């Protein structure tokens, strides 16, 4: 099945789509868990009341529940992106370590370390650290600003 | 007008059984009962949020029993108000207004003015107090131009002083709403004071059934079952009919004999009864001679007892008096107890007019 997809549909192994697939596999579990928590925190009563106000089930979801979950969804997307940015193991297994082709930030740090370029390692590590910290701050501001889902 | 007939519905192990109700346009029916008796389930059935097993719900002549909630045009205010989060009060109301049929923008402003929420419109719902949320939730329900308004314990989230102030507010508010909208209102509560302040009619529920329904005065004057009398806080005593006369009956209540004027007449084969006496009809005095003129010529029970407990319940004082094997509750003002020096442990005389003693025949199941 894997070789069929690789030859006829889309090439994952040692290709850029491989990075996407690997990161999706690792990150999706966390994203789904966060989204579930967000939607669990929204009382089903809102949709019930919306129905009495003339909204169908689908309309109630799109006009009431989804806007109420907006911040949670945004938070889940940002945290998942930050987690994907630091993903190393699954990426290296599927997409390999090819310079300027399948070179993500963690892979670049690994390659620079292997080549003994410690200055490059430090620079890339600081970039990764800054991106992670900024994401965390944005997420905290989004999710914990006295927001009741 | 809303008519509920022979309604049966199940929610898990709980079920509503054979509910019959009728609320006219412009009047308020208060549904009252203990927690878990099915009040909210009944409202949800009318709103279309709960499946009905059998029976009919007819609103303005249209059978809505199997219509989805969005097609019923029923305004529903749940106990927690369920205002949509991360929206302003105005957006909450606007969401309902968008779906309303035949309501003009001027009418919407009239609702807002009526509920005095003009200054709250731009506030987010998280920033509103419970009382403000309540008014916004009522405005949202009215913005739909509903054919019926369902209010589920609207005062449950308020603290007692706010509740008292708002209770008065709600009763005035609802009367204005009737005047403006001329719709039937179903109001759920488990607070008796709230029920009397707000409603025209009252329906008492217990274990998924309606025990008694009627105008508030009628229900308070003649409770039809033991549950209703107990729920209203009356004295309910087990009694046995000793003898019947044309003017009344003699009943034994645990070693004490009471005279009762049985106006409706009691069939001759009835022996076991419940005796119902309102606490405010039990008058306590330290002597046998202290009553005024209006008591002299009336048919009156005078019983000797011992005051056991005197306690405050809100602004009124209550006493428990042991008479023979039974304990009677009496409601009087605290000054009265001070004036007549009635204290726990002291002998007192209990005066009860025979006309104030109600008798409910006891059925085979043990209920009245």
> What's the pLDDT tens digit per position in A124-135?
999 999 998 998
> What's the pLDDT tens digit per position in B197-223?
888 899 999 999 999 999 999 998 889
CA distance B82 to chain A (A): 6
Name the closest residue on chain A to residue B142, using Cα atoms.
A53
At residue B123, the pLDDT reads: 93
Is A63 within 8 Å of chain B by CB? yes
B132 confidence band (pLDDT: 50, 70, 90): confident
Tell me whether residues A148 and B126 touch, CB distance under 8 A.
yes
Contacts 24+ apart (CB under 8 A), B319-325: B319/B284, B321/B282, B321/B284, B321/B348, B321/B350, B323/B256, B323/B350, B324/B253, B324/B254, B324/B255, B324/B256, B325/B254, B325/B255, B325/B256
Name the closest residue on chain A to residue B72, using Cα atoms.
A52
CA distance A16 to A39: 33
A60 confidence band (pLDDT: 50, 70, 90): very high
Closest to B47 (Cβ–Cβ): which among A52, A64, A148? A52
B293 confidence band (pLDDT: 50, 70, 90): low
Closest to B70 (Cβ–Cβ): which among A45, A56, A147? A56
Tell me whether residues A51 and B99 touch, CB distance under 8 A.
no
Is B99 within 8 Å of chain A by CB? yes
At residue B7, the pLDDT reads: 94
Tell me whether residues B76 and A49 touch, CB distance under 8 A.
yes
- For residue A77, is pLDDT > 80? yes
> What's the pLDDT tens digit per position in B224-235?
899 999 999 899
Mean pLDDT of chain B: 85
Contacts of B82 in chain A (CB under 8 A): 43, 45-46, 48-49
CB atoms within 10 A of CB B171: 17
**Cβ–Cβ under 8 Å, residues B328 and B292:** no
Tell me whether residues B78 and A146 touch, CB distance under 8 A.
no
At residue A149, the pLDDT reads: 40
- For residue B297, is pLDDT > 70? no
Q: At what angle do helices A105-114 and A118-143 cross, to 10 degrees?
A: 160
DSSP annotation of B298 reads S
CA distances from B265 to B145, B242, B357 (A): 49, 15, 13
The rounded percent of chain B whose pLDDT value lies above 90 is 40
Name the closest residue on chain B to residue A45, using Cα atoms.
B82
Nearest of A50, A11, A134, A96 to residue B92 by alpha carbon: A50
**Domain range summary for chain B, segments of one domain joined by +:** 2-221, 226-361
φ, ψ dihedrals at B260, nearest 5°: -135, 135
The rounded percent of chain A whose pLDDT value lies above 90 is 58
> What's the pLDDT tens digit per position in B172-182?
776 676 667 78
Mean pLDDT highest for which of B71-85, B290-304, B307-321?
B71-85
Contacts of B72 in chain A (CB under 8 A): 52
CA distance B76 to chain A (A): 7
Closest to B126 (Cβ–Cβ): which among A48, A67, A146? A146
- For residue B170, is pLDDT > 70? no
- The three-state secondary structure class of B272 is strand
CA distance B11 to A146: 35
At residue B204, the pLDDT reads: 95
- B215 strand-pairing partners: B201
At residue B292, the pLDDT reads: 59
Tell me whether residues A64 and B86 touch, CB distance under 8 A.
no
Tell me whether residues B84 and A43 touch, CB distance under 8 A.
no
Name the closest residue on chain A to residue B127, using Cα atoms.
A146
CA distances from B306 to A34, B189, B235, B303 (A): 66, 36, 17, 10
CA distances from B4 to A111, B7, B153, B181 (A): 76, 7, 20, 21
CA distance B368 to B106: 52
Pairing, β B62-63 against β B54-59: antiparallel
φ, ψ dihedrals at B106, nearest 5°: -65, -40
Mean pLDDT of chain A: 89
Tell me whether residues B49 and A53 touch, CB distance under 8 A.
no
Contacts of B76 in chain A (CB under 8 A): 49, 52
DSSP annotation of B82 reads -
At residue B283, the pLDDT reads: 86
> What's the pLDDT tens digit per position in B237-284?
998 888 887 778 888 888 888 888 875 667 777 788 899 999 988 888
At residue B162, the pLDDT reads: 63
- Hey, do B2-221 and B226-361 end up sharing a CATH topology, with the first three levels equal? no
Nearest of B86, B161, B153 to residue B126 by alpha carbon: B86
Closest to B82 (Cβ–Cβ): which among A45, A63, A70? A45
Q: CB under 8 Å to A11, separation ≥6 — which residues? A: A17, A18
- The CATH homologous superfamily for domain B2-221 is P-loop containing nucleotide triphosphate hydrolases (3.40.50.300)
The rounded percent of chain B whose pLDDT value lies above 70 is 89
For residues B13, B19, B24, B30, the Cα torsion angle rounded to the nearest 10 degrees is: -50
φ, ψ dihedrals at B178, nearest 5°: -60, -45
CA distance A72 to A79: 11
A2 confidence band (pLDDT: 50, 70, 90): confident
- For residue B357, is pLDDT > 70? yes
At residue B143, the pLDDT reads: 92
CATH match of B226-361 with 2.40.50.100? yes
Is B136 within 8 Å of chain A by CB? no
A13 confidence band (pLDDT: 50, 70, 90): confident
Contacts of B126 in chain A (CB under 8 A): 146, 148
At residue A147, the pLDDT reads: 44
CA distance B151 to chain A (A): 12
- The three-state secondary structure class of B340 is coil
CA distance A47 to chain B (A): 9
Residues B51-67, mean pLDDT to the nearest whole number: 94
A95 confidence band (pLDDT: 50, 70, 90): confident
Name the closest residue on chain B to residue A67, using Cα atoms.
B86
Write the DSSP string, B228-267. HHHHTT-EEEEEEEEEE-SS-EEEEETTEEEEE--TT---
B290 confidence band (pLDDT: 50, 70, 90): low
- For residue A45, is pLDDT > 80? yes
Is A148 within 8 Å of chain B by CB? yes
Contacts of A74 in chain B (CB under 8 A): none
């Amino acid at each position: 099945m894997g070789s069929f997809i690789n030859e006829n549909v889309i090439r994952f192994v040692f290709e850029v789509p491989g990075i996407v697939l690997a990161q999706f596999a690792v990150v999706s579990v966390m994203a789904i868990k966060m989204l579930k928590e967000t939607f669990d925190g929204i009382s089903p009563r809102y949709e019930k009341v919306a129905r009495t106000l003339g909204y169908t089930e689908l309309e109630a979801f799109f006009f009431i529940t989804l806007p109420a979950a907006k911040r949670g969804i945004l938070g889940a997307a940002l945290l998942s992106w930050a987690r994907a940015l630091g993903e190393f193991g699954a990426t290296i297994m599927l997409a390999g370590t090819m310079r300027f082709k399948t070179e993500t930030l963690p892979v670049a740090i690994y390659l620079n370390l292997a080549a003994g370029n410690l200055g490059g390692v430090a620079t890339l590590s600081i970039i990764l650290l800054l991106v992670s910290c900024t994401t965390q701050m944005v997420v905290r501001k989004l999710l914990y600003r006295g927001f009741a889902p | 007008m809303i008519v509920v007939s022979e309604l049966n519905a199940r929610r898990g192990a709980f079920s509503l059984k054979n509910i019959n109700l009728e609320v006219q346009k412009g009047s308020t029916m208060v549904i009252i009962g203990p927690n878990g008796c099915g009040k909210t389930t009944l409202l949800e059935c009318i709103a279309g949020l709960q499946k009905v097993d059998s029976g009919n719900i007819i609103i303005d002549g249209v059978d809505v029993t199997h219509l989805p909630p969005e097609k019923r045009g029923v305004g529903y205010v749940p106990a927690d108000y369920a205002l949509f989060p991360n929206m302003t009060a105005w957006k909450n109301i606007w969401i309902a207004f968008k779906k309303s049929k035949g309501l003009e923008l001027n009418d919407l402003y009239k609702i807002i003015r009526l509920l005095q929420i003009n200054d709250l419109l731009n506030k987010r719902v998280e920033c509103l107090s419970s009382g403000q949320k309540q008014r916004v939730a009522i405005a949202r329900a009215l913005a739909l131009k509903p054919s019926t308004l369902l209010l589920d314990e609207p005062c449950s989230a308020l603290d007692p002083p706010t509740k008292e102030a708002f209770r008065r507010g709600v009763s005035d508010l609802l009367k204005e709403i009737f005047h403006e909208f001329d719709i039937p209102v179903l109001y759920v509560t488990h607070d008796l004071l709230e029920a009397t302040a707000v409603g025209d009619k009252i329906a008492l529920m217990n274990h998924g059934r309606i025990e008694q329904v009627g105008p508030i005065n009628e229900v308070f004057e003649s409770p039809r079952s033991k549950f209703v009398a107990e729920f209203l806080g009356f004295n309910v005593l087990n009694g046995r009919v000793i003898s019947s006369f044309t003017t009344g009956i003699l009943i034994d209540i645990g070693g004490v004999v009471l005279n009762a004027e049985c106006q409706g007449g009691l069939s001759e084969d009835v022996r076991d009864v419940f005796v119902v006496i309102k606490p405010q009809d039990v008058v306590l005095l330290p002597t046998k001679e202290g009553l005024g003129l209006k008591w002299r010529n009336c048919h009156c029970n005078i019983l000797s007892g011992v005051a056991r407990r005197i306690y405050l319940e809100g602004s009124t004082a209550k006493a428990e008096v042991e008479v023979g094997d039974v304990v009677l509750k009496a409601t009087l003002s605290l000054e009265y107890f001070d004036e007549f020096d009635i204290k726990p442990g002291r002998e007192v005389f209990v005066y009860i007019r025979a006309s104030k003693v109600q008798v409910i025949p006891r059925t085979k199941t043990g209920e009245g």
